[in-house]
């Protein structure tokens, strides 16, 4: 829904970590370094960083009353020297 403001919790498994969350609302005073964020106009996001180890990352988003969503990301490890 375009005006939804549900709180969304993000969880991660595998070779990655959540390094930030956002929703595009410049007036928000929520912590950008947490693992949850209220949606703004129906949208929010998690910023994920992979580890140096290749593998699979599973990111899941949940919110009360809504169906959970998840995405799987496969990483190949840290890039070599430039």
pLDDT per position as a tens digit, 35-55: 999 999 999 999 999 988 999
At 82 the three-state DSSP class reads coil
| Confidence band, pLDDT 50/70/90 cuts, at residue 56 | very high
The CATH number of the domain covering residues in 7-75: 2.60.40.10
Where are the domains positioned within the chain?
7-75
**CA quadruple 55, 49, 3, 66: dihedral sign:** positive
Q: What is the pTM of this model?
A: 0.86
- DSSP codes, 12-39: EEESEEEEEEE-S-TT--S-TTSSEEE-
What value, to the nearest 5°, has the Cα angle with vertex 31 and ends 71 and 43? Answer: 45
């Amino acid at each position: 829904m375009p005006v939804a403001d549900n709180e969304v919790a993000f969880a991660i498994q595998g070779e990655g970590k959540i390094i930030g969350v956002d929703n595009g609302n410049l007036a928000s005073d929520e912590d950008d370094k947490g693992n949850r964020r209220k949606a703004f106009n129906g949208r929010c996001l998690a910023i994920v960083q992979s580890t140096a180890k290749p593998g699979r990352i599973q990111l899941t988003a949940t919110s009360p009353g809504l169906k959970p969503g998840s995405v799987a990301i496969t990483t190949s490890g840290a890039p070599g020297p430039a």
